[in-house]
Structure 1
Amino acid sequence: MIIELQEAQKAVIQQKGDYAVVAITKHGVELARKLGQSFQNADVYYMSKFEKGDEGEKDIQLFTGSVRLLLPSLFEVYKGLIIIISLGAVVRMIAPLLKDKKTDPGVVVIDDKGEHVISVLSGHIGGANELTKEVAAALKARPIITTASDVQETIAVDLFGKRFGWIWDSAEKLTPVSASVVNEEKIAIVQESGEKEWWLYGRPLPENIKSYRSILEALAEKPDAALVVTHRNLSEEEQQILQNGVLYRPKVIVLGMGCNRGTTSKEIEAVIDETLAELNVSKKSVKAICTIDLKKDEAGLIEVKNKNRWEFICYTPEELNSIKIEDPSETVFKFTGAYGVSEPAALLYSGAETLALTKKKSGNVTISVAVIPY
């Protein structure tokens, strides 16, 4: 199939991967084909006049007409665009498409000889900086990245913990806190939970960035900005640190769950919300629901995990029985083959030695809560 690009008509494309590689010159096509082989998750597009006859076999999409008419369709659906066209031309073509750095795809530009790979748009949140490094490595080219936090080798506030799945409680202060970091102002970091391997450079933290054991300790030092990593809901006093701070929610909460057959998702989620509130824990920090394999098709649990995009882990009775629990139940064993479900399931997944909540029975639902230790 050849995509015929015409004014006032949206291009009909076939998206399969997360990235699109686009070329319009003879040399650019060779680079695009090479990247198409290197990046298994990339779709390749180039002009039909460079057709080689194997495009159908390689799932390469050909087009006729101006590439300017192709980019809007690619911009809407791909996570990143790798464009082998001059930087100036790309800037002019994508300018009308820009909406928001939180939603725009990452855009990377490669010169026609494949010597330079340039991060152009959405370097951090859109992943263009990381994509630039990967593409440059594949082509043995030079990566060009101009983002201040990358050049200065300091913390990228908008990407902090992203590779671990951390999420912001609010994006409101991302820009001012980022400015404080790159301007080398006094920065406080408080980490109460989550992965510790977030510093990527083989040297100590910059002198302007200091870690504190608690939020109150950090507040006493009057920092210009703060990065707080915790699954806990902050007290009114602690929230003062967010006046120029970003609160990150690490994925550390594991819910061990059991329920009667046919329990509705509404009842299950109500118990979860109530329990997390009692524990003073953010729902954004939940990583997984864990249960026994007899519940792998339980509609209510599946609906809740799908809605919240949580992992759903099911263990065999033998796996659950490998964990020692405080109050093993002969009744539960009679019906399931396991002496407990919610408690051992939460302990198994989390690797924790103790539970934040041992077990709570509410209506048709039983829940235990564990915090993943790092």
Structure 2
Amino acid sequence: MSVILLKEEEFPVIKQSSDYAIVAITKHGVALARSLHEKFSNSDLYYMNKFEVGDESSKGIQMFQGSVRMLFPALFPVYKGIIIVISLGAVVRMIAPLLKDKKTDPGIVVIDDKGEHVISVLSGHLGGANELTKEVAAAIDAKPIITTASDVQGTIAVDLFGQRFGWQWESADKLTPVSASVVNEEQIAVIQESGERNWWMYDTPLPNHIHLFTSIKEALEQQPQASLIVTHRLLNKEEEVILNNGVLYRPKVIVLGMGCNRGTSANEIEQVIKETLEELHFSMKSVKSIATIDLKKDEKGLIEVVNKYNWNFQVYTPSELNEIDIDQPSDTVYKYTGAYGVSEPAAKRYSGVDKLVLTKKKSGNVTISVAVMEFND
């Protein structure tokens, strides 16, 4: 457990690993902040240690005790944006002594304790708080409040693209040049092979310089000046040229249906997952969930792997699994579990797809099926 002891005479030492910080100090605020943290992969979460639930260390959550006021001087210099689940008035009073210049102050966004409104407070334009407000509001289904007279340019915020869906960058190396290309209205390719389709949040059409493609090959033929690529696939060498001025995003679309013998180690489970995804040329960063039968809800190896990668862990009853049509029903599995299959129906039920990319591969003590979630336009 990482606990920050706040003393009046010194600022706390924090561990900054992302561009955005989320801060909460109430019971409801912490629940809201935890939910947002799971969706915003590029964020660090801070809350009071009296709301500890036990998984903070595995999830990289940092806790503090004492006045939250003493936390902000440590956060201000290192984060691009700070999302605060505290009343607006209290936030204004606490950050006022820290304000220096709109060119250097971080973007500040405030969320009310019920999660109904998300307010852009500071550095709306240069600090990106307006765009951050929209993304956060979309993530928690709240109303964005932006009061600047002229809003930011209606285009894609490259560093926030897909954050509310949990999309992760493969690398941040090209964020700055690609962002410059977007703002300067150069020819931009958005290549989307998987993931949520409703990422455009404006009422107006896409700007004329941004073009949509369904494959990298198709985009390369048009010779774009910059690219945003959304895919769960590992790129081959011919495709990697798109990354010369491109950012690769990993959407959370892979569902792993899994079964295992009792007591199977986390190392064996993890190794099977890695080998399987490598064989499929899929990215580990695009895994969303492990799904299995409720008999495995306390399986230590599965739980360790889920916690390590911060994946969802979904269990189903035998009757729920038997409702799913499967290609390889097993009377032997039914004899021991009450279900005619585990990995195959679990993957299908969670993902909502009828056809798996991999059906019931057995490896040692582990059985794995793989599904890719689909999203409508």
Q: CA deviation at 1:144?
A: 2.8
Which residue of 80, 83, 89 maps to 1:80? 83
Structure-2 residue corresponding to 1:28:
none
Change (3 A) 1:369 1:154: same
Structure-2 residue corresponding to 1:123:
128
State the identity %.
56
Structure-2 residue corresponding to 1:253:
254
Structure-1 residue corresponding to 2:99:
91
**Residue type matched to 2:122 in 1?**
I
In the superposition, the TM-score normalised over structure 1's length comes to 0.72
Structure-1 residue corresponding to 2:176:
175
Q: CA deviation at 1:371?
A: 0.5
Change (3 A) 1:235 1:133: closer
Structure-1 residue corresponding to 2:334:
333
Structure-1 residue corresponding to 2:147:
143
SS in 2 for 1:188: strand
SS in 2 for 1:289: strand
Q: Note if 1:282 corresponds to 2:290.
A: no
Structure-2 residue corresponding to 1:226:
227
Instruction: Give the Cα–Cα distance (whole angstroms) in 2 for the partners of residues 179 and 333 of structure 1.
Output: 57
CA offsets 1:223-253 (integer angstroms, 9 cap, x no match): 0000111101111000000000011111000
Change (3 A) 1:345 1:162: same
Instruction: Give the Cα–Cα distance (whole angstroms) in 2 for the partners of residues 141 and 315 of structure 1.
Output: 40
**Residue type matched to 2:303 in 1?**
I
Q: CA deviation at 1:353?
A: 1.1
Structure-2 residue corresponding to 1:311:
312
Q: In the alignment, is the contact (CA less than 8 A) between 2:322 and 2:340 conserved in 1?
A: yes
Instruction: Give the Cα–Cα distance (whole angstroms) in 1 for the partners of residues 337 and 273 of structure 2.
Output: 23
CA root-mean-square deviation: 4.1
Larger Rg: 1
- Once the two structures are overlaid, the 10-residue window that deviates more, 257-266 or 204-213, is 204-213
Instruction: Give the Cα–Cα distance (whole angstroms) in 2 for the partners of residues 284 and 180 of structure 1.
Output: 26
Structure-1 residue corresponding to 2:195:
194
SS in 2 for 1:143: coil
Change (3 A) 1:37 1:170: closer
Instruction: Give the Cα–Cα distance (whole angstroms) in 2 for the partners of residues 145 and 306 of structure 1.
Output: 44
SS in 1 for 2:99: helix
Q: CA deviation at 1:95?
A: 10
Q: In the alignment, is the contact (CA less than 8 A) between 1:190 and 1:211 conserved in 2?
A: yes
Q: CA deviation at 1:327?
A: 1.6
Unaligned runs of 5+ in 2: 1-5, 14-20, 34-64, 111-118
Q: CA deviation at 1:91?
A: 2.2
Q: Which has the higher contact order (CA 8 A, sep 6+)?
A: 2
Structure-1 residue corresponding to 2:47:
none
Q: CA deviation at 1:80?
A: 2.8
Change (3 A) 1:179 1:306: same
CA offsets 1:310-353 (integer angstroms, 9 cap, x no match): 00000000000001111210000000000000000000000011
CA offsets 1:180-200 (integer angstroms, 9 cap, x no match): 001000001111111111111
Structure-2 residue corresponding to 1:165:
166
Instruction: Give the Cα–Cα distance (whole angstroms) in 1 for the partners of residues 164 and 83 of structure 2.
Output: 17
Q: CA deviation at 1:72?
A: 2.3
Q: CA deviation at 1:141?
A: 7.7
In the superposition, the TM-score normalised over structure 2's length comes to 0.72
Instruction: Give the Cα–Cα distance (whole angstroms) in 2 for the partners of residues 264 and 349 of structure 1.
Output: 24
Between the two proteins, the alignment pairs up a number of residues equal to 314
CA offsets 1:147-201 (integer angstroms, 9 cap, x no match): xxx6211011111111111111111101100100010000011111111111111
**Residue type matched to 1:144 in 2?**
T
SS in 2 for 1:84: helix
Q: CA deviation at 1:5?
A: 7.6
Q: In the alignment, is the contact (CA less than 8 A) between 1:10 and 1:73 conserved in 2?
A: yes
Q: CA deviation at 1:204?
A: 1.5
Instruction: Give the Cα–Cα distance (whole angstroms) in 1 for the partners of residues 276 and 352 of structure 2.
Output: 21
Instruction: Give the Cα–Cα distance (whole angstroms) in 2 for the partners of residues 41 and 365 of structure 1.
Output: 34
Q: In the alignment, is the contact (CA less than 8 A) between 1:18 and 1:41 conserved in 2?
A: no
Q: In the alignment, is the contact (CA less than 8 A) between 1:263 and 1:300 conserved in 2?
A: yes
Unaligned runs of 5+ in 1: 22-35, 44-60, 99-103, 110-114
SS in 2 for 1:306: helix
Q: CA deviation at 1:116?
A: 9.1
Change (3 A) 1:153 1:320: same
Structure-1 residue corresponding to 2:55:
none
Instruction: Give the Cα–Cα distance (whole angstroms) in 2 for the partners of residues 272 and 37 of structure 1.
Output: 36
SS in 1 for 2:290: strand
